[in-house]
Amino acid sequence: MLKRDDDSNKESPMPPNLPSSLPSLDDIDAALAAIDNELAHIAALLDAPTDTSGACHPHHHWWTAGGLAIACGLGSADILTAAGLLAQSWQTFCERLAEAGEDQCVLQLFPAAIARDRAALEIAGAAMLHDHGLLTGTELPLRWRAAPKFGLGAPFVAFGFDAADRDAWDGIWALPLSDLAALGAAITDSDIFPAAGTMLATLVARHRVDLRARGAHARHLRAVAAYRDDCSRFATWQAGHPDHPWPNRLANARQGHLARTTAAALDLPVPTLVRRGEAARWLDAHDANLRFTERK
């Protein structure tokens, strides 16, 4: 309870200096649009190509590698097990992936391989992270729980991951296990099996050009699938909420950015789009997002 502003002894249930009127929904929408615009700007900066040949923040490598792990379907609960799987010998790594399923791409097999023996992999992962000085005492750093990209990316970086090779690592994930094993067999002494993380980094270095092309294509296909799924979910939601006021809300930053890039790609004037419904109709009429659609 708060004391009244008039210094009386009575207590007030309301906070002092309460505004005489609350903001309108339009004001709230405008504020949210401004925040959305700022977030979109930050996201664009993060997504922009980065030259890692020079100096860059070391966490950039961790963050990028963690993004690849999350693309596999991993999360904060898998930090130790993922590190443990990478710490296995190359032979054991391939065997675990083979036991996890048919000859699919590594991206699909990685989570299943982890799930088969979590306890043993957690022990191996903790030892690997400890040896590289990445633990806080014997525990994972607290920030890794809140931002699992860092924790998932840490073991990859320890084994030689560089953000400049993101596409090539995506290419590794896209390889069928049989192809991956064949690449490893071509450079592995039958009596000496390095850690899987070391072998993966070696294969990226030796086959960088081919893996980059494969990885860029694989990432595009994932983005197409995610985009179509998002469009489908929104169409289903919209059909179930025909009276929702979303079309009358202010157009958000993502719509504005997509409208500008679409207009530029089609050599059209940049439209003035005020409301979300209006923006959605314009984008749909021009087949946006052009990255994932074919012109009609």
Secondary structure (DSSP) of the chain: -EE-TT--S-EESS-TT--SSPPPHHHHHHHHHHHHHHHHHHHHHHHS----SS---HHHHHHHHHHHHHHTT--GGGHHHHHHHHHSBHHHHHHHHHHHSSS-BHHHHHHHHHHHTHHHHHHHHHHHHHHTT-SBTTB--HHHHHSHHHHHHHHHHHTT--GGGHHHHHHHHHSBHHHHHHHHHTT--TT---BHHHHHHHHHHHSHHHHHHHHHHHHHHHHHHHHHHHHHHHHHHHHH-TT-SGGGSBPPHHHHHHHHHHHHHTT-PPP---BHHHHHHHHHHTTS-TTT----
pLDDT of residue 200: 94
> Are 152 and 79 in the same domain?
yes
Which tokens in the block code for residue 119? 């306890």
108 and 193 both lie in a single domain:
yes
The domain of 147 spans 58-220
- Whether residues 199 and 259 share a domain: the answer is no
pTM exceeds 0.75: no
Give the model confidence (pLDDT) of 127-140 as tens digits. 999 999 999 888 99
Examine the fold and report which residue of 171, 202, 220 is the final residue of a domain before the chain moves on. Answer: 220
pLDDT tops 60 at residue 278:
yes
Q: Are residues 203 and 263 in the same domain?
A: no
pLDDT at 279 over 80: yes
Specify the number of domains making up the chain: 2
Same domain, 133 and 203: yes
CA distances in angstroms from 89 to 26, 127, 266, listed in the order given: 60, 14, 51
Same-domain check for residues 104 and 212: yes
Q: What is the mean pLDDT of residues 278-285?
A: 91
Percent of the chain with pLDDT over 70: 78
Whether pLDDT at 3 is above 80 = no
How far apart CA 93 and CA 139 sit, in angstroms, is: 25
Task: Look at residue 12 in the predicted model and tell me its pLDDT.
Answer: 46
Flag the least confident range among 27-36, 171-180, 206-215, 266-275: 27-36
Q: Is the pLDDT of residue 287 over 50?
A: yes
Q: Which of 220, 255, 274 is the last residue of a domain?
A: 220
Whether 47 maps to a domain, the answer reads no
- pLDDT tens per residue, range 138-164: 899 988 888 888 899 999 999 999 999
- Does residue 211 lie in a domain region? yes
121 lies in the same domain as 77: yes
For 263-268, the CB contacts below 8 A with 24+ separation are 265/290, 266/290
* 27 occurs within a structural domain: no
Pick the residue with more confidence: 205 or 36?
Answer: 205
Q: Is the dihedral of CA 19, 24, 25, 28 positive or negative?
A: negative
| Residue predicted with more confidence, 258 or 14 | 258
CA distance readout (Å), 31 to 39, 109, 185, 219, 224: 12, 44, 58, 34, 31
**10 belongs to a structural domain:** no
Q: Which two tokens stand for residue 223?
A: 């983005």
Q: Which two tokens stand for residue 257?
A: 């950015």
Distance of alpha carbon 234 from alpha carbon 128, whole angstroms: 43
- Tell whether 202 and 103 lie within a shared domain: yes
Banded pLDDT at 62 (limits 50, 70, 90): confident
Answer yes or no: do 252 and 190 share one domain: no
* Separation CA 279–CA 273 (nearest Å): 5
Residues 6+ apart with CB under 8 A from 149: 62, 63, 66, 67, 69, 70
Q: Are residues 116 and 164 in the same domain?
A: yes
Q: How confident is the model at residue 16 (pLDDT cuts 50, 70, 90)?
A: very low
**177 lies in some domain:** yes
Q: Please report the pLDDT score of residue 2 as a whole number.
A: 42
Q: Is residue 203 part of a domain?
A: yes
Mean pLDDT, rounded, of the chain:
82
Confidence of residue 56 (pLDDT cuts 50, 70, 90): low
Domain membership of residue 283 (yes or no) is yes
> The tokens of 121 are what?
């992999």
Above 70 in pLDDT, residue 190? no
Residues 251 and 143 in one domain: no
**What does the alpha-carbon distance between residue 69 and residue 156 come to, in Å, rounded to a whole number?**
9
Residue 21 backbone dihedrals phi, psi, to 5 degrees: -145, 150
pLDDT at 5 > cutoff 70 = no
**Domain final position from 186, 220, 254:** 220
Residue 281 and residue 156 share a domain: no
The pLDDT, as a whole number, for residue 214 is 92
* Bigger pLDDT: 4 vs 254: 254
36 and 253 Cβ atoms separated by less than 8 Å:
yes
Is 278 among the domain residues? yes
Binned at pLDDT 50, 70 and 90, residue 119 comes out as very high
